[in-house]
Amino acid sequence: MSLDPFANLPADLPSFVTHLECSITGERYDADVLHGLSRVGRPLLVRYDLPGVRAALTREVLAARPADLWRYRELLPVRSPANIVSLGENATPLLTLDRVGAARNARAPIVKDEGRLPTGSFKARGLVMAISMAKALGVRTIAMPTNGNAGAAAAAYATRAGIEAVILCPDDTPEINVREIAAQGARVYRVNGLIDDCGAIVGAACKANGWFDLSTLKEPYRIEGKKTMGLELAEQLGWTLPDAIFYPTGGGTGLIGMWKAFDELEAIGLIGPERPRMYAVQAEGCAPMVRAWEAGERHADRWEDAHTVAAGIRVPRAVGDFLILDAVRESGGAALAVSDAALLAAVDEAAGDGVLLCPEGGATLAAYDRALTDGLVARDDRVVLFNCATGLKYPMPDRSRTLDRHGDIDLAAL
């Protein structure tokens, strides 16, 4: 028996990719050609023959497939199983926070726990797709900036694909992430700056050395991997969508991807026109989307002096700012900022339900609280919070106590 989960797939997957499209001008670009940004410097989006997908991909077809990311292959860009660089991207669970809900006299919020993916974060969804397509298109070296988890995922998948990886991170990136990136086979450099400062060096190095820039939204395929969160969520909820989604937003690829996924699911007849309200969650110390949303702007200025304990959402400037803000506005949602104190308190509270959130996941629970207070969500709304990484990657307070085995131990007091 083959251990390869793709061994029984046809040599060429049923591919419905038609072209790529500039996200701001609509200009078309050929598929199967290596692309970065569009000619006007904006992200490219993958487009599909959706009527063809509708005829091929039904609920019954999906139900017979393994519960992994690749079950949605008709809506993914990889054409050949030989180019799939997998580490086992299984579906992630939905967990209810029952005590959290009871404490608020509200329906228990649902956590989609993305920390169960390879390398312990939802970055695996985007990077498995970006690296698989890089392999398909002949890329030999990738470079990218990271706040931690994306670099770890890129390093793991690139190593598995035989692609060289160069990763730059801010010098205060969580230590576990820096060491993880190196352990997975990439060359990692600490930079005395923020992620966009790292990105500027990556851009210059790619031009100088002929590397491919795998930065967030500077290639077309990370969105396609991240959108599987939306495809998977809809299927897990019985082909309905929640009333509201709270998403920790740095570069915003997942929020953009899910919004795209919902449109594609409607076009192929698997869901109706209803949409959740999308809440882009940021930290008060780095909230460019919140500032732009509140000002009614479509683009966000760089956030100076960005700081937060939630490193994954410390992104001062996002290439896809307008796509994030468009989705938030079209959905009737909002961009919300929370304090570090609030998000850390939320991590502690969720642990009381047995769910260990990362700081960015904690931010979504803190934002849900704010939305409840402000009347943005109702207490009976079905709400989904995205926990983007396992909490095991982050420092935790030491609340242990000690016992002296040689002394008298008060067993009743234990």
Tokens representing 26 are 């609509």
Kindly tell me if the per-residue pLDDT of 60 is higher than 60: yes
* Phi, psi (degrees; rounded to nearest 5) at 141: -140, 130
Kindly tell me if the per-residue pLDDT of 3 is higher than 70: no
Kindly tell me if the per-residue pLDDT of 18 is higher than 80: yes
Q: What 3-state DSSP class applies to 128?
A: helix
Percent of all residues in the chain with a pLDDT value above 90, rounded to a whole number: 95
Kindly tell me if the per-residue pLDDT of 13 is higher than 80: no
Residues 6+ apart with CB under 8 A from 192: 171
Strand residue runs (E) in 230-365? 244-248, 277-283, 334-338
Kindly tell me if the per-residue pLDDT of 9 is higher than 90: no
pLDDT for 84? 96
Tokens representing 352 are 């009381």
Kindly tell me if the per-residue pLDDT of 190 is higher than 90: yes
pTM here? 0.94
Length of the chain: 414
* Phi, psi (degrees; rounded to nearest 5) at 391: -65, -10
Kindly tell me if the per-residue pLDDT of 4 is higher than 70: no
Percent of all residues in the chain with a pLDDT value above 70, rounded to a whole number: 97
- In this prediction, residues 160-183 reach a mean pLDDT of 96
- The gap from C-alpha 363 to its chain's centroid, in whole angstroms, comes to 14
Kindly tell me if the per-residue pLDDT of 1 is higher than 60: no
- 348-374 pLDDT, tens digit each: 999 999 999 999 999 999 999 999 999
Contact 218, 255 (CB under 8 A): no
Considering only CA atoms, which of 391, 382, 124 is closest in space to residue 236?
382
- 99-155 pLDDT, tens digit each: 999 999 999 999 999 999 999 999 999 999 999 999 999 999 999 999 999 999 999
pLDDT for 395? 87
Domain definitions of the chain by residue range? 94-119+222-392
pLDDT for 10? 59
Q: Phi/psi class of residue 149: alpha, beta or left (left: φ > 0; alpha: ψ in -120 to 50)?
A: alpha
Helix axes 288-295, 321-331, angle to 10 degrees: 50
Between the alpha carbon of residue 22 and those of residues 35, 131, 139, 322, the distances in Å are 11, 21, 22, 13
pLDDT for 408? 93
Kindly tell me if the per-residue pLDDT of 2 is higher than 60: no
- 135-151 pLDDT, tens digit each: 999 999 999 999 999 99
Contact 263, 47 (CB under 8 A): no
Q: Give all strands of the β-sheet with 44-48 in edge-to-edge order.
A: 28-29, 17-22, 44-48
Average confidence score pLDDT of the chain: 95
Question: From 3.40.50.1100, 1.10.3470.10, 3.40.50.2300, 3.40.50.620, which CATH number describes the 94-119+222-392 domain?
Answer: 3.40.50.1100
Tokens representing 122 are 């939802």
pLDDT for 61? 95
What gap in Å lies between CA 300 and CA 291, rounded to an integer? Answer: 7
